[in-house]
Amino acid sequence: MNVDDVIFDGPVVPEPRRRQPAEDLSPWFQTVEDVGPAIDPQTFFTTPAPLEVDIGCGRGMFMFKASTTRPDTNFLGLEIDFKEARRAARRLVRRKQPNARIVGGDAREVLSKKLPEASVTAAHVYFPDPWWKKKHMRRRLFNDQFVDLLARIVMPGGHVHSWTDVEDYFVVIKGLMDNHPLFVALPPAPENEAEHDDDYHTSFERRKRQDGWVIHRGLWQRR
């Protein structure tokens, strides 16, 4: 009997599914490893321009809107959640946005090692994770070391913007920034009344404001 004629009654074991290769979104999305030892703001974008950094850019609403309405400025988004970062990058890919790029990975590595000193005109930190549980609060982004990193990359005269809906976290942020010798507090811009669903900085701000939450806003200038 030929073995090919034998009928086996056992269960059919399906072939293992092959993982699809990740969609190539470069240059709009790159990992910290992809960018190499350093990011040169003059060559990283299509055209050299003043650079602003969105730390924890999430789904990229601010990145997309700001880079669209301000084509004379380059925007670098930093996001540790690769799924969210790639989602944001897809919006930029569809528009072939020349002045926006997203790097996936730990923002602190980019701020401490990849970006040159005094290379950023503004840093934006909107709604950083508050890490509610006491045992997790050490994971919060804002601490003395992080503020030192902001002082490292933001050029004299540049700005740091930070918003949160968590009042006690804002007290911490404000205390750290107000007491740093290289930053001075400025009055933040007044909150505008949103005229439509896209008239917000971030999708998180939209959700919180529509639910009636107070947004605490801070603005500081680099000395």
Domain spans, the chain:
23-222
Confirm whether residue 205 is marked as ligand binding.
Answer: yes
Confirm whether residue 72 is marked as ligand binding.
Answer: no
Active site residues: 129
Q: What is the mean pLDDT of the chain?
A: 90
Summarised one tens digit per residue, pLDDT across range 116-158 is: 999 999 999 999 998 767 666 788 999 999 999 999 999 999 9
Q: Distances in Å between the alpha carbon of 34 and those of 18, 46, 73? A: 24, 17, 23
Confirm whether residue 106 is marked as ligand binding.
Answer: yes
* CA 166, 169, 175, 178 torsion-angle sign: negative
Question: DSSP letters of 42-79?
Answer: TTSSSS---EEEEET-TT-HHHHHHHHH-TTSEEEEEE
Asked whether the predicted pLDDT for residue 22 surpasses 80, the reply is: no
State how far the Cα of 208 lies from the Cα of 186, in Å rounded to an integer.
Answer: 24
Higher per-residue pLDDT: 178 or 203: 178
Task: State the CB neighbour count (10 A cutoff) for residue 166.
Answer: 17
Confirm whether residue 183 is marked as ligand binding.
Answer: no
Whether residue 84 contacts residue 58, with contact meaning beta carbons closer than 8 Å, is answered with: yes
Confirm whether residue 162 is marked as ligand binding.
Answer: no
Confirm whether residue 133 is marked as ligand binding.
Answer: yes
Task: State the CB neighbour count (10 A cutoff) for residue 87.
Answer: 17
CA torsion 210-211-212-216 (nearest 10°) is -80
Question: In 100-164, at which residue ranges do the beta strands (DSSP E only) sit?
Answer: 100-104, 120-126, 154-164
Summarised one tens digit per residue, pLDDT across range 25-55 is: 999 999 999 999 999 999 999 999 999 999 9
CATH class as words, domain 23-222 = alpha beta
State how far the Cα of 90 lies from the Cα of 96, in Å rounded to an integer.
Answer: 9
Please state which of the ranges 49-53, 79-83, 98-102, 201-205 shows the lowest mean pLDDT: 201-205
Nearest to 52 by CA among 87, 101, 96: 101
Q: C-alpha angle with apex 91: 88 to 96, nearest 5 degrees?
A: 125
Task: Cite the DSSP H helix spans in 54-202.
Answer: 61-69, 82-95, 107-109, 144-153, 167-178
State how far the Cα of 218 lies from the Cα of 32, in Å rounded to an integer.
Answer: 28
State how far the Cα of 157 lies from the Cα of 183, in Å rounded to an integer.
Answer: 9
